Amino acid sequence: MSPERSPILAINSGSSTLKFGLFTEEAGEEHALARGSADGIGKDTGKLEILDGEGKTLRLENKKYGSQNDALSEVAGPLASLGLAQPVAVGHRMVHGGPKLRDHVRITSDVMQTLESAIHFAPLHIPTSLELIRGTQKIYPELPQFACFDTAFHQTMPEKAYHYPLPEKYLQQGVRRYGFHGLSYASIVHQLGGELKSRTVVAHLGNGASLAALLDGKSVDTSMGMTPTGGIPMGTRPGDLDPGVLLYILRTEKPDTNALEAMLNHKSGLAALGGTSDMRNLQKAATEGDQAAKLAIEVFCTAVAKTIAEYAVSLGGLEMLVFAGGIGERSAQVRANVCGRLGLLGVNLDAGRNDASEPVLSSGASLIEVRIVPAQEEIQIAREVRARL
């Protein structure tokens, strides 16, 4: 089988999920032979689901997974038993590669050592990714493996967007804005193709959420910073904070760095404001009169709208607004709340299209085209790997 048609296995790990896809290329586009997810990793109950390229269920069973590698082992067996062509390469989504790994790269021992040295840039993400890579290498010892970094898409940001106003020595140490969700943004640019407007803002809204300002398809600014904790408030992360808040906490409670990091990444954001990180539960509670849930939604939607308006300034105007991610693709209420604040920019939603979550949401009177474009991170991983085979 030629490299162009050979299957590539894409692995996308989350905190409690492992998404995967087996892709082959036809007529210049990646097509799924199989895709699915292992859910509930580290919890009492879990589920494995594998679908074929048309969405038909090939395997569905309840499983309990202690770790990402346990889930990967359970995925590899069924994929091999379903009679599918075996992969010729594996691509891993990597949230962060630190300052030295900024582009997608084949994994070597040197790359692994560089990632080890960059753990302090993303201590919640890089160790898990390294463990999963090692587990994959044991299952597929002969296959080339690639690291696909969420930070790679944002290499085009100008210095004014990535350079923090701190002493220069910190920039030399790698303290800068990196930006994340890059595989999602790259997949959206690919999907829109010639329909992408020159001045576009993409809002990737999920449990982790960020926005990016795109000029002619290139990132010129993004909301997340040196880590995925910054930017707008998220499910369990606060987003940007006055540094004095952290100094206050350090002085009054004297937590160690692990405790402070756990609070910022797991006990803040929407969960701290509304009691849950799940937007669906917040919306249900808000309709029942829960004031805390209402506040959480208002804080979230206001932050998204303010960032869109900020990026309209950065871009010198706005022609297209794209929603992606679990919340962006599925929550008509959030989209309406955000866009309702952007009338001064000429944003006007068609209520019926929005309620139906149609691909194009804007009305004929809107000066800004508003769309939903699904994030396709696994397909983008396959594209990036195939380009480097």
H-helix segments, 150-288: 159-162, 168-172, 182-192, 243-252, 257-266, 269-274, 279-287
Q: Which residues are catalytic?
A: 150
CB contact at 8 A, 129 and 94? yes
Residues 22, 4: Cα–Cα separation, whole Å: 14
Q: Bridge partners of 218?
A: 215
pTM for the whole structure: 0.96
Tell me the two tokens of residue 228: 């995925």
Give CA–CA dist 34/52, Å, rounded.
Answer: 4
Q: What are the structural domains of the chain?
A: 8-149 (3.30.420.40), 195-372 (3.30.420.40)
How would you write the pLDDT of the chain (389 residues) with one tens digit per residue? Answer: 555 579 999 999 887 789 999 999 998 899 999 999 999 888 888 899 999 999 999 999 998 888 889 889 888 888 888 888 899 999 999 999 999 999 999 999 999 999 999 999 988 889 999 999 999 999 999 999 999 999 999 999 999 999 999 999 999 999 999 999 999 999 999 999 999 999 999 999 999 999 999 999 999 999 999 999 999 999 999 999 999 999 999 999 999 999 999 999 999 999 999 999 999 999 999 999 999 999 999 999 999 999 999 999 999 999 999 999 999 999 999 999 999 999 999 999 999 999 999 999 999 999 999 999 999 999 999 999 999 99
